[in-house]
Chain A
Amino acid sequence: MSANLIAMLAEATWQTLYMVAVATVIGALCGLPVGTFLACSRKGELLSAPLVNKVLGIVVNATRSVPFIILVVAIIPFTRMVAGTSIGTTAAIVPLTIAAIPFIARLIENAIREVDSGLIEAARAMGATPLQIIAKVLIPEALPGITLGLTLAVVSLIGYSAMVGAVGGEGLGDLGIRYGYQRFMPDVMAMVVVILIVMVQLAQSIGEWIARKVDKRAPRNRGA
């Protein structure tokens, strides 16, 4: 394989990492409050607001039900507004993030709803405010689940990032399609696939390792 090709692969790998990392960080920053609110605003819960919960839930579902490739194209005007341009790697971060937020929000919502309601009760009995319960009980207790959720989000975003070639986003997916498929260079395609597999494996392993570190529940039963 030529030095040129290797440089291209290296750059594409970097671009993919960049897009996924930025989308994950922003997605998590926005998804955490949204997910927490979704979990806590159901009827009879801490911040009971069933109507708002329902509306937010519909918005989240709507965003999630749009196929990613359609989302990319549909929000081009918005992307231009945010990124200043609608093509290129930086621009591609916008649809990736938009897709990441509701996905991460749902994962965080699930992780928080897994927390034993007895702990909420104990905190209420201590005289905690709803915000204290969220910050000191729900999020710390849900952390193992949240970590695994974010791992899943990273893996999914690596997959999504392959589609942003459609709007001039670069990265591994784009390289694979342009060189491996359109110019029929099977070695490039093979390398792209191998790098993506390694990337996903790494993300999964690191995520699981962190989740294990933060999980203090019954270590004896988890072979640790």
Chain B
Amino acid sequence: MQRDSTTGAAIAFEGVGKSFTSKGRTVTALEGVDLAVAPGAITGIIGRSGAGKSTLLRMVNGLERPSAGRVTVGGRDVGTARGATLREIRRDVGMIFQHFNLLSSRTVLGNVALPLEIAGVPAAETARRAKDLVERVGLETLADRYPAELSGGQKQRVGIARALATGPKVLLSDEATSALDPETTQTVLRLLADINRDLGLTILMITHEMAVLRDIASHVAVIEGGRIVEEGATYDIFTRPAHPTTRSFLAGVTGVTLPQFIAARMQLDPPAGPSREVIRITFLGANATDPLLAEMSAALGLEVNILAGAIEEIGAQPFGNLLISVAAERGPEARHYLDTRGQRTEVLGYVG
């Protein structure tokens, strides 16, 4: 598939808006969406229920048409495509679903063969390719089973094999792991990551779990009320979230929460009398902060309390969170010291 000549994107949204009118009421699902999805990357869309995620995704294969703006896949305008042209584009875009949407009347092999039959691929080649794909997703022993006899994770593997059948360049995933348990979610995500790497497939995935993005997405777009409020490389979004929505999504995932006995006593403004400032330090890369804190404590003659901390990985890059407290009047000094040494600091509050 060729890339968009102007942006180099595999998928491009330009000023996209969508409104639905039902029973005289108009709902605006999307407004002014600009997004360029990098080819060969895994891009995640995250947002609350009703934010417009599915509507956005469904425009990529023309299941939904934009009311304003332009959606292109590989440089081809999807929004205006009709009939055979649209069906042609759809064969270049695979899709997997939260509830799998497998045909109960067909076996694993039969389900994977369906897109090929629809595309008019000769029977012998269909059979051969379906068999290869079933092996690719590790289901060769279940090839003749019906979906009702499979687990959720196995069904989603069938869904993935089916989505890959016509050799698409783009894969869309609408909450493909939301119906799966955490362990199965991991195996399905790993399969998607493998496919992305081996086939160079561009994957655009919706999720409402930040953890899913942390594990496999290289780019993230945060959508709220039909608008993209923040986007960028996953690492940047996780380490430097700018929008409150992003922060609240991250709260449960990254790092660390304050011990309850401190959280309960914390207030936003320094209380009268002696108090301590609670600071979050986000350290990027493999920076060792322990020596840094020891150095600061020596250099400034400051007593530092470590309240909580954790290191995790986004993609392959480590990133850590540390919660400390220092005497409130020395707070600005301590933060300045850390900031000038490349750490990111944020005041969470004060305890008396």
Contacts and interface: CB of A to CB of B under 8 A. Distances in A.
B101 A118 contact: yes
Interface string B61-96: 101000000000000000000000011111101110
Contacts of B148: 216-220
A122 B95 contact: yes
A216 B87 CA distance: 29
Interface stretch (A26-34, A83-91, A100-108, A124-132): A124-132
A127 B101 contact: no
A140 B114 contact: no
A127 B88 contact: yes
A125 B118 CA distance: 11
A32 B101 CA distance: 24
Interface string A117-154: 01101111111110010001100110100000000000
Nearest to B165: A126
Interface of A: 116, 118-119, 121-129, 132, 136-137, 140-141, 143, 214, 216-220
The 8 closest A-B CB pairs, nearest first, are A127-B90, A127-B87, A122-B101, A118-B101, A216-B146, A126-B115, A125-B95, A140-B105
Chain B, interface residues (CB within 8 Å), range: 20 to 34
B101 A121 contact: yes
Contacts of A141: 103-105
Contact of B117 (A136, A214, A219): A136
For chain A, what secondary structure do more than half of its interface residues adopt (helix, strand, loop), or is it mixed? Answer: helix
Contacts of B63: 121, 124-125
Contacts of A126: 90-91, 114-115, 118-119, 166
Interface of B: 61, 63, 86-91, 93-95, 97, 99, 101, 103-106, 114-115, 117-119, 146-149, 166, 172
A95 B61 CA distance: 48
Nearest to A144: B105
Contacts of A123: 114, 118
A121 B63 CA distance: 8
B105 A214 contact: yes
7 contacts: A122-B101, A123-B118, A124-B63, A126-B166, A129-B87, A216-B148, A217-B104
A184 B105 CA distance: 53
Contact of A140 (B89, B91, B106): B106
Contacts of A121: 63, 97, 101
Contacts of B166: 126-127
A127 B84 CA distance: 8
A128 B105 contact: no
A116 B88 CA distance: 25
Contacts of B90: 124-127
A136 B87 contact: no
A116 to B, nearest CB: 7
